[in-house]
Amino acid sequence: MLELSRTVRFCLSPDPGDDDSPRDNTFASWPAMRGLGRYYEVQVVCRGLADPQTGYFINIKEIDTAVRDHVLPRMRRAIADEQAAMNVAMGSLMRDLFTALAPALNHTVHHFALQLTPTLALVIENQAMDTILIKQQYEFSAAHRLHVPEFDDEQNRQTFGKCNNPAGHGHNYRVEVVVGAPIDAHGQTVSPAALDAVVDQHVIERLDHKHLNVDVPEFAEQNPSVENIVRVVWDYLTPGLAELPDGAKLDEVSVWETGKTVCTYRGPER
Ligand SMILES: Nc1nc2c(c(=O)[nH]1)N=C([C@H](O)[C@H](O)COP(=O)(O)OP(=O)(O)OP(=O)(O)O)CN2
Ligand SMILES: [Zn+2]
């Protein structure tokens, strides 16, 4: 089985006057931005097998067309009224978008993501249509030192190199939290603002602008490596998420230590 992912970018304004723009070279987005329109990105992830002759599982242009024919008009209707757009039932909307898209792509869509801001995406999967995955990214800055007290100086230097510097060093850590949130009877789901508040209180407040080895009790006895940080963040969030509406569950946490290093944790059982 192959998984093919296609990103489609588009800009919307309540007035669809830009529908006649050329459809080629859509990397930047099509329809293009007009004035103070809105920018969106969707990711369609399909699963299947490649045709032995063409090597294609599905032509990416078919995915573009399906998104433009089925997702864009629904999104345009959803934003037509500013007040209604603010209160839209995001769970229902995601389910409607998926249900409209799936037959146009022969039901090969495994999941569909709507990127709402550079840091926030909503995801719906074909086998869990009663749940939305909310993915949000955050950042904190912290200092740390990698050091094992049982090692001698040479062993510490060999193992951790410049990361063993006694005065420590810093990173701008990026954290991505993925929460599975049930869609309620009104089509609503956990709001990103509610998730942000939990992450802020339970994670950012504890780690931001701290020296992890000195200020954070969880790292008094274990190294603040990215592997340990991601598990500590998971543990901080578990009680915090109990404050969200019933049934919201932590699905995945990722921590980037640098642009090149990321560690992901899906809990002790996965
Ligand atoms: N398995 C792990 N290895 C390393 C970790 C870690 O948490 N887990 N952490 C570090 C250090 O924190 C270090 O600060 C990382 O920085 P650096 O080695 O500079 O990483 P870069 O990718 O920025 O390095 P380049 O110099 O650009 O290659 C080390 N290892
Ligand atoms: Zn480091």
ipTM: 0.96
User: Would the pLDDT of 236 be above 70?
Assistant: yes
pLDDT in tens, 33-66: 888 899 999 999 999 999 999 999 999 999 999 9
Nearest Cα residue to atom 28 of ligand 1: 260
Cis peptide before 192 (omega within 30 of 0): no
pLDDT digits (tens, 9 = 90+) for 161-217: 999 999 999 999 999 999 999 999 999 999 999 999 999 999 999 999 999 999 999
pTM given for the model: 0.94
- Active-site annotation holds for 263: no
Could you tell me the domains of the chain?
Answer: 1-129 (3.30.479.10), 130-270 (3.30.479.10)
Residues with CB under 6 A from ligand 1: 146, 163, 169, 225-227, 257-258, 260-261
Contacts within 8 Å (CB) and 24+ apart, 123-130: 124/94, 124/95, 124/97, 124/98, 126/98, 126/102, 128/180, 129/95, 129/98, 130/182, 130/183
